Amino acid sequence: MSFFNVEEIKKFINRSNSVLVVWDVQETLVNSIFNKDEFIKKLKELIDSARTYNVPIVYTMITPYPERFQPKITLRRSFNPGDIYKDVYPREGDVILRKNTPSIFVGTNFELMLRNAGINSIVFTGIATDIGVETSARHAQALGFIPIVAREAVSSADKEAHERSLANMQRLMLVLSNKEIIELWQK
């Protein structure tokens, strides 16, 4: 059950007002997910379509604070997520956004970039569905953007948490297949 009309919201989405976010698709994280091969295949499909339809692509990268500025209490010491996964590596013209939090909007200039470009719909892909993707999608909605979660191009190390997160988000925002997203970009 959703609390909105999916078809009505879809009318406001097209390639000229969209951005594709590739959330934390870094080597260590890709190698930890439950559906690596299918995830990479579906992510590549959306990235290729975004390039075909001239939809900007923003890659996020977990970037630790300098050692002196690390929180005194950390859950993960010396976690190194690695570089962006080679099979979906950014190309010239793509944006790499380094961030330190599970929201794409905290500590970055992402909101300003979108508003400057007249973008109001954000397609979220990446890892982990139940952490940064959901946090950022909810934050996007709170800021007045239209979040779209690419059901087939998000994943997590925890399959049950991934599925719960998708079910929760589907009640509040668009959770669409690649086919549905690409059809919106074809407008």
Radius of gyration of the chain, Cα coordinates, nearest whole angstrom: 16
Pick the CATH number of 6-64+79-185 from 3.20.20.210, 3.40.50.1980, 3.40.50.850, 1.10.1370.40: 3.40.50.850
Average pLDDT, the chain: 93
CA-to-CA distance for 6 and 106, rounded, in angstroms? 28
CA-to-CA distance for 11 and 13, rounded, in angstroms? 6
Please check whether residue 98 is in contact with residue 61, taking contact to mean a CB–CB distance below 8 angstroms. yes
Confidence (pTM): 0.94
| Domain assignments of the chain as residue spans, ordered by start | 6-64+79-185
86: which residues sit within 8 A by CB, 6+ positions away? none
67: nearest Cα among 78, 57, 76, 56: 78
Q: Which residues of the chain have pLDDT under 70?
A: 1-2, 72-79
Cα torsion 126, 111, 106, 149: sign: negative
pLDDT value of residue 66? 78
pLDDT value of residue 70? 74
H/E/C letters for each residue in the chain? CCCCCHHHHHCCCCHHHEEEEEECCEHHHHCCCCCHHHHHHHHHHHHHHHHHCCCCEEEEEECCCCHHHCCCCCCCCCCCCCCECHHHCCCCCCEEEEECCCCCCCCCCHHHHHHHHCCCEEEEEEECHHHHHHHHHHHHHHCCCEEEEEEEEEECCCHHHHHHHHHHHHCCCEEECHHHHHHHHCC
pLDDT value of residue 1? 59
| Cα dist from 25 to 5, 39, 68, 137, whole Å | 31, 10, 26, 16
